[in-house]
Structure 1
Amino acid sequence: MIDFSEIIWRLKFISVVFSMFFGFIFIYSMVRFRQLVSLKIQMNKIINPPEAAHGGALQSKWEEIMRHMDSVREAEWKFAIVEADKLVDDILKSSGYLGDTMGERLMNIEKGQLLSLDGLWEAHKIRNKLVHDTNYFLRYAEARRAVMLYEAALKELNALG
């Protein structure tokens, strides 16, 4: 007579072994993929630095953003934050960071890749509040902080001197 319990036990054992093997292969592949993406980003930064890609236009855009911050009008500060966010997003795209939106690009950056990542998230969240809540009251100190966080990221990305 055939012992089905023995056959089922062996099939379970083989299934577990295969699952562990393919799980290991999957995890190893994901780790290697992330390493390759990180290497691609680093190589892209070396081959195509942001300042070289945009020339002096980037510096003049930043100076225009800072002129908006010198205003006494809240609308000008909001405009400066939105423009600074766009500028950083353009630099992230040209540096090879992956993602369809700024938020996705920030999520794809590992902590060690960009020291100003937390500050960039903070500034981007302020920008999102401005864009999605038209009644949001922006204090000058908050606007100044957001712009300074964007500036720190741009300097770290070698986009500003």
Structure 2
Amino acid sequence: MNILEKILGKKQAGGRGRTSVGFLKPYDKEKVAQDWERIAQLAETNRPSAYKEAVIVADKLLDYILTQISSGETMGERLKNAGEAFPRDVYQGIWDAHKMRNALVHEPNFDLTVLVARDILEKFKRGFQSLGVTL
């Protein structure tokens, strides 16, 4: 960490035209871990409605994190601007998970199977863990 990062609490941009990305604070890491417990409890019920809720809550939690470490008017903009904070495969996974959440919410005939829901939740989990959150 250089002196500018210490003063501003931000990483410098990675050169791909993205804005700088802030670090997730210890308080926020604790909040994410606590909220993840609720998500895990929902998933353990094995009810389709609970899986749907778990995916929606996980996506909201990701957006909360993005508002803490990135900038942008929409979640999509914040996610694009935060790309350098994630390993490439994890970044793609959380994009895919976010797109699946959008399909779940906006497409009336979208069928969320248990396997798909578990995969989506695992992608969100990997994203949170890559930011240093212990789950």
> TM-score scaled to structure 1, two decimals?
0.66
Matches within 5 A, 1:35-50: 37-38=19-20, 41=21, 44-45=22-23, 49-50=24-25
Report the Cα offset of residue 135 of structure 1: 2.9
Residue 109 (structure 2) pairs with residue 131 (structure 1): no
Partners in 2 of 1:55 and 1:150 — Cα distance? 14
Partners in 2 of 1:87 and 1:109 — Cα distance? 15
Match of 1:81 in 2: 55
Residue 111 (structure 2) pairs with residue 99 (structure 1): no
User: Aligned pair in 2 of structure 1 residues 54, 114: CA closer, same or farther (>3 Å)?
Assistant: closer
Report the Cα offset of residue 138 of structure 1: 0.5
Q: Which structure 2 residue ranges, 5 or more long, are not aligned?
A: 1-13
Q: Could you say what the CA RMSD is over the residues aligned between the two structures, in angstroms? A: 2.3
Report the Cα offset of residue 57 of structure 1: 3.2
Matches within 5 A, 1:1-161: 34=17, 37-38=19-20, 41=21, 44-45=22-23, 49-50=24-25, 52-54=26-28, 56-95=30-69, 97-110=70-83, 112-115=84-87, 116-161=90-135
Amino acid aligned to 2:117: A
SS at match of 2:64: helix
Partners in 2 of 1:98 and 1:137 — Cα distance? 32
Count, aligned residues: 120
Q: Which structure 1 residue ranges, 5 or more long, are not aligned?
A: 1-30
Report the Cα offset of residue 32 of structure 1: 7.5
Q: Which runs of 4+ in 1 moved over 6 A?
A: none
Report the Cα offset of residue 88 of structure 1: 1.1
Q: Deviations over 1:3-53 (max 9, x none)?
A: xxxxxxxxxxxxxxxxxxxxxxxxxxxx98947x32xx2xx31xxx34x13
Which protein has the larger Cα radius of gyration, Structure 1 or Structure 2?
A: 1
Match of 1:21 in 2: none
Bigger share in helix: 1
Whether the 8 Å contact between 1:91 and 1:159 is mirrored in structure 2 is: no
